[in-house]
Structure 1
Amino acid sequence: MGALRKTSHWDFVNELIVEKETVGYLSNGDRYWRLCSRLAEVRTTGSDFHSKERVVSFAIADAIVQYRHIWRRTLTPDVLTPYFDALLSQESMDYVSTAVHQLCDLLDEHRHVHAGIIRIVWRVALVKPENLSDALKEKLLSTLWSRTQIPFQAIKRSRAMATHFFNHETKRHQRVPFGIRQLNATLTTPLFPFFYVSVPLPVRHWSQSILEASLSPANPLSIRWSNLSLLAFFHSISGSQSLHMPLSLDSTEFTDWHAALMTGILETVISSYPSPDDVRGLVRLLWQRWRQSPHGNKRPSFVIRAFVSACFRLAGHTKDVELCHECYRYSVRHNLFLSSGGVPSSERVQADSLMNHCVQAFLDLPGQEWATLFQSIDIQPPEAFGRQADLFIQSLVSRDPNLAHQLYKHCIRHSIPLSGETQKLLMTGLVAHRPSATISVLDHWVGDVRPLLLPILRSLGTCRLQHMEPLQAKILGSALLKHVATQKLTSHFKRPIQHCLYLFITANRAEDAVQIVDAILKHKPSYFSASFLKRLLQLLLRHRQFRLSIRLANLFGNIPPAVTNDIRETLVLGLLRGGASNLARRLAPPDMPRSHEVIARIAGFRKHPSRITVPKVPPVSRHSVTDLPSFTFAFLLVLNSARPSIPSKVLMSALSQMDPTTKTLLVNTYLNHLTRRSQRRVARNRRVFRSVVHMKDFFVQRAGFSPDRVTTNIFVKALMRSNGFDAVKVRALFDHLTRHGYPVAERWRRENNVPFGTVPLPPGYLQLSFPEGPIEFQKHCRPLYKMFIKALHRRRDVTGAKMIVGILKDEEAAYLLGKGT
């Protein structure tokens, strides 16, 4: 077995064939396998020159013998392609001559050959002219000419050219429009029916005449061979290759044969040229030669559109503005866009494709050259341009949805009719980029809105839109309400609708949000979770939608009692904090077991308790010190009362039982309340800062209070309440904070390495403390900088305020960048 594995399978093939030859009989199959084994010997011969030449000569000689026995009886000539490749790979011209003669005999014998043999023909045609004798050229050209004189018989199936393609935008299979590749395939079909494409009869007659004029024996041999080489070059070149064959544009030899093939070659290789300047001049010259051709009036309209479409594509790739405009004017002048009806469907498909390539070309141009297309809308009658406008929009949706929407609005203003399919395609393509523009269309949308609603809602959630225009919220809410009132929603709508309901409330369309929730819960009471409905209730309370909050709370269906008590407490306390004391008092049940509700009842369900009820709150709060939310609620009620001496006593009695973090939070709340209370009583009271400093020192000494950077912000706020603190001092204070670590970008620093260039303040100035620890942008930096902006505006220092606005924007950008990474 080891010896067998070292032996090539071709050795076994040769051994079997020799045994059968000794018997005296070799079938055509045996000869074919012997031919293949000889070709394998040619490919695997060693590097020794003398032995290689001897082995190759013997192998090729035997291969030629086997070929002569089987070539007439081969039903599929493509299996003989390796034989011709081997002969043409040899340096000896004798082998090349043999290959050409045998190839011509094979083409005479077999009318229908496939891609392999056709590739061999192109390979021979691309051999350098000086390496082939005139006799061999004449032999091949005569063979091909004789094939063109055979009456045409279309083959049933051909894999050379596709007839349909799948449109991912319309989700349908559509006919491939007749383009430059189909045109060149039609030119090749009389030679090789493998390239057969179903085309109109005028195009077939035109291509037959062009082919006969290019390969006619009446022409000189050099011209015929050059035309054949150009055809072979078109079928052989790939997109990754560059032009290595000169394309002659001599006006004396230039025909439609050259125009079609050169255009196809340029379209194939254009992507390999990074700079459009390399081929722009060649494309423009090709266009001029084609227009100046004396046989232009004999071209069928299909041929003209195919060439102009290719020129549009080349002009867009090379950024040739002048050529784009020339092609557009030529198309309009010769009615290539078919603005009138009554034409065959194949011609309509090609005209639509021409319009699509026109749009793509103008979009590829620099600047606003696509405005030319918009101007043409006003030139033609609206009803005649409706079809072209559909094509414009359909081609623009995938490239530039915003531009497609501009064209859509232009058509609406000028009463240009658009098909429903086009409008739907535009809306579905636009919703991911501009959901707000899609919402405005719902107001006058005719038909089922379901295909648009879900993409719109998903887009609003994906882009995390925080605010919506009230008019858009009204349109979307109306469309959504009509939909949910008649149909049950699937789970795919759940999360998008939840985000959309938040937007309705912030856009002052809270009633629409509650109506939508009511309509959905009527069909399916368990569609929304209790936690979501609670968040929605809290948002309504924050926006002071008290009546709608009560209405939403009544929509809660079968939920556990614990959740019911939680919802009731949220509603009552929300009404209380919002100042709706009467509603809170009316909705509160007599038996309220929770501490929040007990405290609210003692305070008379008032946000600002009276002087009589305030003393009753502290005893309750002392029993709920361990319940921090309840104590904070009671403490805030006391702060809002008209008894300023009670809050400090309540706080001092409870601080000893709290951890340092809670202690700092409550003391900062109290200090901040001092600044607000002084603002309500006496504007910019000079004693505000002193009272804040005094109470801070009091809590530090008596309760172990540790100031943090929020405390520093409160001190700055108290300073700015004073009338004597003018704009100059505000600037100096900002520079003082900058020197103590508050962030400022380098580009804002001026003299003394600070934004406003003030001199340093003496140590301990204004008794400001700067605790250790990081400065957080959201918690410390942004509120502080906004206070400075407001203070400078009030003091009419607009320049200083603008500088701090710029500093704040830079810091916010840096924060978001760091957050994203």
Structure 2
Amino acid sequence: MTRRVSYATKFNLRDELPGDAKLSANDEGASSSSPIRVQTGCPNHDLVHTVSPGRFGWDDGHSQSIPIRRSGTHFSKDCADQSLALEVGSEPQPSTSNSRLAPTYLHCANTISNTYTVPRTAVPGLCHVQYTSTMAGTGSLGDPPVAPVASVSCTALASAIEFVQSLLDAPASDQQDVADLVSMFHEYRPGLLRGLGVKHRSELLCLFGTISDDRDARHYHSQCKGRIRVAPHGQGYWEEVIEVANEMDRLGHVFEERENYWLMRAYLECSRSTNSAASRDMARLFYSRILGQAQHHPSVLIPYLDIFLAHPSAPDFSEALDLLCTSIERQDNPHRDLVHLFWKVILTNGSVLPSAYKSRVLDLLLRRISHFKTTIRSAVPVSLNDLITAFAASIFPCYRTSALPPALAPWIMNCVRASLAQTIPIGERFDNLVLLSMWLLPRELSKSPTLGAASQSGDWRALIGLAILNRSLGSSTAVTPAQPDMQDVVRSFWLSWKDSARGDRPRGVIRAVTIVFLQVAIKVEDGPLFDGCMDYLTSQQAWNAREDGHETAQVEQLFGTVADGLSTFKDRTWMKLPSLLGNMSHNSSQQTRYLRRIFLRLAGHDAELAHQFYLHCLSHGIPVSLEASVPIIQCLVFQQRWSEVIPFLQDRRLNRGALEQVVEAILSVFRGARQESTTPIVAEAVGDALRRLYSTTYIPDRLKYPARFFFPVMITSGRSQQAIQLLEVFARNNLVMFTPRFYLRIIQTLLRRRQNALAVKTLELASSPQDKQSALADLRRKTIRGLIGNGALKLAAQVESTHPDATKRIPHDRLSYIGRCGSRSHKPTLLALLRLVSRAMKPPVRASVILATVQKLVQNRSFALARRLMKRSLGHLDATQLTAVGNVYLHAPVRYWNMRNGRLVRHVLRAKDFLVQEYGFTPDRVTVNIVIKTMLRWRGFMNTRMVRSLFDHLIRNGYPASEKWHTGNGVPFGTLPGGVTLDLSNIRPNMSFKRHVRPLYKMFIKEMFLRRDSRAARRVVGILKEEEVLATERKEHREQARRHGIVKKQRRRMLALAKGKSGGRESGG
């Protein structure tokens, strides 16, 4: 029986979201077991669905949401304003293939559609129905079941399918973020997977596995890996692999080898995180589906065994162990990861293995012992690590040593066979394997086996135990036991090594092992053990080496280790080491190598100790070559002990390579410390060394900047002539090394020291064709301007006639014109001075031109023209520039007029007040110096006591003087406040030693000497020298910080560039 229940209200069916279907379930014909039929009254679109209310717990009088699916088609506008009807009647029987979900969902024929929940204001007694609209006659119950999904747009689903297809089909122009793909997969999962083809679903599964894999399984990787951008340490997407596989299984897909591999990996990872036996069963199932030899490929077998061998209590452990041993037996050279897994099982699960499995493993390894490949490098000495690696290489060829001579191979083979021989108890043999696995797998946590006395495997246990101990002591994270306990452990290994001594031990093995014992003795500060090792080496004649480079390199390393112990055990080793060096039968080249290594290691610990040992060797008659002394010379250079460095530098017997190392160290010290000067002897010696090295060859790139920095140092050190001669020699072979900017720095340094002729000669060298002509022209113009400023008008005219392009009529050359206007013998006329003023005010008006013009005017006592120019240029000068111009004006009467005493003081003070009132002049510390200079020239009024009082007053107001110069009242001369004073409250506090302090203190020194107060003058000289040193240190510190900042910035730029290149290669790959 079917009863119709009318719809309570009408709703509008729109393009995207239809209205709310509110249906009443309270009709008298409906019951909890009666089926419900929902349909629309639209003639074009029929919404039909039958559902059993009882399946949703729908009782009479309650509301319930019924999930019904809507197809991808949209309602047309003529469907609007239609009503729904609810029919209650008998439930139709669903088809067999969809019996699980047929009463609940309407499936549209061959169409994956979206679900819409249509909200509307609730009405009592009505239920909210989620419904699906289909074209009339297209509904079918024969489609596969689909799980309910969230409400999405059909257009968005189509876009998602198209995006995934384009991603899997062809390379995309840009990489896509994996997070976007995963979120899209979860949002559209059922519809997305059904909308994709078989090939696309398979490739999507492999893609999720590929981006989750950290192993080398390239033949299983998806080709779309390069199109996905994955975080460096992102999470795995193994759950997505399983979800894709489940959907493919519902669709009847038969998995191929690639899908089986990734499903095996996915279930293995699930088992790793959850320790689920069901996941391991599924992994075993998919592993069994990988047919043929592919099961034994390392990319398949290793992750499979890694999970099953991690649980020794699991029933699958023995089967996995058998598979591992079988795989190793079948291969002559097993994969390194497979061997790593083998040692991991021995290390972590060896204590729980039954004796039968231990015996099988030992027999397997004993059968695998064979000759291994040896590679010898003359420059690399044999180490203890090489010997232990050779132990493993004799069993598994995947291990290779970097330096092992063939002569040591028989001893290695005998030692391995003796340690794994069947005559030894199984427990002892297996403990030997555990020791080797501890060395090979340092990151695996394990418990050290109990090591008792072992007659046949004493060398094996001593070597491996010593190597493990040395590595643990060298680790920064290692927890070091108490020192006496550690010494006992080391001595036990030493006794085991000595007691198991046999006559067939090669000297290379003895040296390699004893070197590590010496290193451990130094670390635990065991002096008796250190002495015992040295005596043992002497008894075994291990200090002697043949002519071949391999043994010489090992003895050199041995002496270096003994040198490390010299700083710790100086009393024990100080006398032994020279005797060993003097009594050995080695040639001069070997002795040079040994001494050089000793000096290098000592210098790394204590430079002074290295120098003392050098003198100690000379006092004992040991010939120390100059080449061996290079580390000592470098230490002296870094300490700037130039008196001891210069004799080495001037010795003509020093070869080119050693001389280059010393010169490089000296130049790096000057450049790093940013020193501006040195003693003339040092500058001359370094200049001669540079000439000897690079007078006919190209200067290396690493020395380009240090060498360029040293030229101004030579000039300021009083060796200007030698510096320019050296520059002339270098310029012949290193054209691109010297830039116009470098030449400008040299010329400016020379001009400051009044070396005008050398400045012109330097300008002639700056003619490289690689430089821009504009830069060279600017260099010539600045040189001419500097020459004019120094009064070298003839040289300036010479340069101008040689290079006419340097004086083109541009605004910058107004300074040169001002400098050439007039001379000492021919003063300029009034007309010429008026022309200067008019030229200075031509646009563009520059502060430097105004300053030079005012200086020229006051120099010729044209103060009225100077004031006129200052007034006209006020709008073009800021406060700092106006202060500089005003100071030039104030200083003119002191320099160019004959006024003195009180008249000069009054004139300067009135001029200062005039500038402040009329032009807004702001006094600074240069103004203070000018005023003090005028006061000190009033010698009839300023007596000795007043000069001292004025100096103390300046110290109280912030001028520098350390406390050691104070005699009383916190000032150098002990005067009381209130004597001669100046108001410095409005002066800015920042102070420059070069511009403010040094000129002021020199004035006081001169005036004190003129007043015959030499004691006070010498005190100010001491203060000045001390402050000059401090100012130089502060400047060098600033230069060092600036240099470090430049280097750090360059390093960051290089790292960013390298990172960009590596990223480009990865994206390209």
TM-score by length of 1: 0.68
Any residues of structure 2 matched to 1:308-323 within 5 Å, and which? 308-315=514-521
Any residues of structure 2 matched to 1:564-603 within 5 Å, and which? 570-571=786-787, 574=790, 594=817, 596-600=819-823, 603=824
Matching residue's letter, 2:867: L
Deviation by residue 1:727-754 (Cα, 9 ceiling, x = unmatched) = 862565136524xxx6899999999999
Distance 2:1020 2:699 in 1: 54
Change (3 A) 1:200 1:83: same
Equivalent position of 1:306 in the other structure:
512
SS of the equivalent of 1:192 reads: coil
1:260 and 2:472 are equivalent in the alignment: no
Equivalent position of 2:909 in the other structure:
696
**Equivalent residues of 1:355, 1:388 under 8 A apart:** yes
Change (3 A) 1:562 1:108: closer
Distance 2:965 2:323 in 1: 84
Change (3 A) 1:700 1:288: same
Matched residue pairs, number? 745
**Equivalent residues of 2:391, 2:412 under 8 A apart:** yes
Any residues of structure 2 matched to 1:90-169 within 5 Å, and which? 90=311, 92=313, 94-101=315-322, 103-104=324-325, 110-127=331-348, 131-148=352-369, 152-154=370-372
1:416 and 2:624 are equivalent in the alignment: yes
SS of the equivalent of 2:437 reads: helix
* Deviation of the 1:230 alpha carbon: 1.8
* Deviation of the 1:181 alpha carbon: 2.0
Change (3 A) 1:103 1:14: farther
Stretch deviating more after TM superposition (696-705 or 396-405): 396-405
Deviation by residue 1:460-515 (Cα, 9 ceiling, x = unmatched) = 55654411432343344345556776468899998766544433322322222333
Change (3 A) 1:372 1:688: farther
Distance 2:864 2:1034 in 1: 41
Deviation by residue 1:304-351 (Cα, 9 ceiling, x = unmatched) = 22212323444555566776565456545644343x543x44333433
* Deviation of the 1:235 alpha carbon: 1.9
**Equivalent residues of 2:788, 2:796 under 8 A apart:** yes
SS of the equivalent of 1:309 reads: helix
1:477 and 2:477 are equivalent in the alignment: no
Match among 987, 992, 996 for residue 777 of structure 1: 992
Any residues of structure 2 matched to 1:695-734 within 5 Å, and which? 695-698=908-911, 700-701=913-914, 704=918, 706=921, 707-717=923-933, 722-725=942-945, 729-730=949-950, 732-734=952-954
Deviation by residue 1:25-61 (Cα, 9 ceiling, x = unmatched) = xxxx98x998996786565469999xx657756875x
What is the RMSD computed on CA atoms of the aligned residues? 6.2
Equivalent position of 1:642 in the other structure:
none
Question: Whose helix fraction is larger, Structure 1's or Structure 2's?
Answer: 1
Equivalent position of 1:385 in the other structure:
591
Match among 430, 436, 440 for residue 235 of structure 1: 440
Change (3 A) 1:479 1:230: closer
Distance 1:813 1:655 in 2: 41
1:224 and 2:436 are equivalent in the alignment: no
* Deviation of the 1:90 alpha carbon: 3.8
Match among 868, 871, 880 for residue 656 of structure 1: 868
Matching residue's letter, 2:506: P
Match among 947, 953, 957 for residue 737 of structure 1: 957
Change (3 A) 1:116 1:79: farther
* Deviation of the 1:352 alpha carbon: 3.4
Distance 2:321 2:672 in 1: 66
SS of the equivalent of 1:775 reads: coil
Change (3 A) 1:258 1:676: farther
* Deviation of the 1:261 alpha carbon: 1.2
Deviation by residue 1:262-290 (Cα, 9 ceiling, x = unmatched) = 12222443344457743755653344234
Distance 1:182 1:308 in 2: 14
Change (3 A) 1:89 1:554: closer
Gaps of 5+ in 1: 21-28, 158-162, 165-172, 605-612, 639-646
Distance 2:491 2:702 in 1: 57
Distance 1:531 1:215 in 2: 73
**Equivalent residues of 1:180, 1:264 under 8 A apart:** yes
**Equivalent residues of 1:397, 1:404 under 8 A apart:** yes
**Equivalent residues of 1:435, 1:460 under 8 A apart:** no
Deviation by residue 1:129-176 (Cα, 9 ceiling, x = unmatched) = 66333333334334434545xxx344x69xxxxx58xxxxxxxx8764
Change (3 A) 1:766 1:370: farther
Distance 2:696 2:623 in 1: 33
**Equivalent residues of 1:352, 1:391 under 8 A apart:** yes
Change (3 A) 1:36 1:147: farther
Distance 2:792 2:882 in 1: 26
* Deviation of the 1:386 alpha carbon: 1.5
Change (3 A) 1:438 1:464: farther
SS of the equivalent of 2:334 reads: coil
* Deviation of the 1:710 alpha carbon: 2.0
**Equivalent residues of 2:559, 2:597 under 8 A apart:** yes
Matching residue's letter, 1:656: R
Equivalent position of 2:385 in the other structure:
181
Change (3 A) 1:278 1:675: farther
Distance 1:192 1:524 in 2: 56
1:207 and 2:398 are equivalent in the alignment: no
Stretch deviating more after TM superposition (218-227 or 722-731): 722-731
What percentage of residue pairs aligned between the two structures are identical? 20
Distance 2:463 2:452 in 1: 12
Distance 2:434 2:733 in 1: 74
Match among 73, 88, 96 for residue 309 of structure 2: 88
Distance 1:799 1:665 in 2: 31
Matching residue's letter, 2:719: R
Distance 2:502 2:632 in 1: 39
**Equivalent residues of 1:14, 1:34 under 8 A apart:** no
Deviation by residue 1:399-422 (Cα, 9 ceiling, x = unmatched) = 999998998999999643466xx8
Deviation by residue 1:165-192 (Cα, 9 ceiling, x = unmatched) = xxxxxxxx87643222221123334443
Deviation by residue 1:529-577 (Cα, 9 ceiling, x = unmatched) = 7786676455445434466567667778899999878766754663569
* Deviation of the 1:388 alpha carbon: 0.8
Deviation by residue 1:700-734 (Cα, 9 ceiling, x = unmatched) = 35995844332223334555663332686256513
Equivalent position of 1:336 in the other structure:
542
Equivalent position of 1:761 in the other structure:
978
Matching residue's letter, 1:700: D
Higher alpha-carbon Rg: 2
1:507 and 2:698 are equivalent in the alignment: no
Change (3 A) 1:456 1:621: farther
Match among 487, 491, 495 for residue 288 of structure 1: 491
Distance 1:287 1:690 in 2: 91
Gaps of 5+ in 2: 1-191, 202-239, 802-806, 808-815, 841-849, 875-879, 1043-1069
SS of the equivalent of 2:822 reads: helix
SS of the equivalent of 2:721 reads: helix
Change (3 A) 1:303 1:789: farther
Distance 1:556 1:120 in 2: 68
Distance 1:510 1:253 in 2: 76
